[in-house]
Amino acid sequence: MFVFLRLSQIFSVAIGFEFKGFYMTREEAVKKIIFAMDVKEFSDVQHWAELLSPHVGMFKVGKQLYTACGPAAVRMIQKCGGEVFLDLKYHDIPNTVAMATLEAANLGVKLCDLHAMGGYEMMSKTMETLDKNFSGCAERPRVLAITVLTSSNEETLRGIGIDIPVPEMVVKLAKLAQKAGVDGVVASPQEVGLIREACGKDFLVVTPGVRPSFASTDDQKRIMTPADAVKAGADYLVIGRPIAAAESPAKAAEAIVDEIVAG
C-alpha cells in the first residue's frame, strides 16, 4: 500500500496534478477559469483576449463592455480564439427575455444568463425558444440562472422584502431554474454543495466570488479560494481583478491554475 501511494504521488507531480482523491490536469484547470473582462474600450478587448486566451477557458462579457462595444466585443474574443460567457442577466417579460437570449445564442457564445427571480414562466419560455430554434442544428449555448448575487447577504434580501436565509433562497431558485429546463446557475461557491445536493451532478454551477490566496476580497461577501470552490463542485470560476490587477496577468492566471491543481 505504501509503495502504491508513493508511486502515485510521484506520478501525479510528474504530469501536473495531486493525488488527493481526485485528478485534475492543468488543461482541465485552465478550462475552469472565466476571466471577467470588465473593460469599456474596444482596444482593451483585443489586448486581454490575445494575452489571456492561452491561460483561461473563457471570457465574461458583462453589461458595461457590451453596452460600450456591443456584439463586436464578442466577435473580437472569438477571433482571438476565446470562448464567451455573455453575462447580461436578462430579467423582463418572458417573450422579451426569450428573444434576447436567442440573439445571444446566435452570436455563438458558450454561456449566457438570466435572473431566476424572473420566475418559472420567463425561464421556461426562454428554454423552449432556444430548443426550438437550435433543434437539429448547431449546439446552443448553456443557459444559467442568477440566484443571489455574491455582493448580497441576508440584510440585502431583507431590504427588498425577502425574509429567507441566503442559502435557502439560492437552493429555492436553483430548483426552480432546473424545473424550467435551465442548464445551471450562477451562485456563490459557499452554496455549491447545497445546489449539488438539490439539483444533482449534471446541473452546471458557475461561481463568482472566487478569490485566490494572493488577492483581496474587494466587494464580494460570500467568497472562497479557487481550489476550495472546485472541490465543492464548481464547474467554472469567474475571476477578474486578481488577474487584471496583477503585475503579470498571465502569471496570475497560471498561479490560479496552480492553486486548483494543488487542491
For the question of residue 221 being annotated catalytic, the response is: no
Distances in Å between the alpha carbon of 176 and those of 53, 59, 157? 34, 27, 18
Give residue for cell 433562497.
169
Distances in Å between the alpha carbon of 151 and those of 45, 116, 166, 209, 223? 25, 16, 12, 8, 10
Q: Is residue 200 classed exposed, middle or buried when 0-12, 13-18 and 19+ CB atoms within 10 A define those classes? A: exposed
Give the span between the Cα atoms of 178 and 144, in whole angstroms.
10
* 133, 138, 141, 143 alpha-carbon torsion, rounded to 10°: 40
Give the span between the Cα atoms of 198 and 53, in whole angstroms.
34
Residue of 31, 89, 172, 221 marked active site: 89
Distances in Å between the alpha carbon of 191 and those of 27, 55, 80, 96, 180? 26, 27, 34, 30, 20
Give residue for cell 427575455.
97
Mention every residue, 6+ apart, whose C-beta is less than 8 A from residue 91: 97, 114, 115, 117, 118, 122
Q: Which residues participate in catalysis according to the annotation?
A: 89
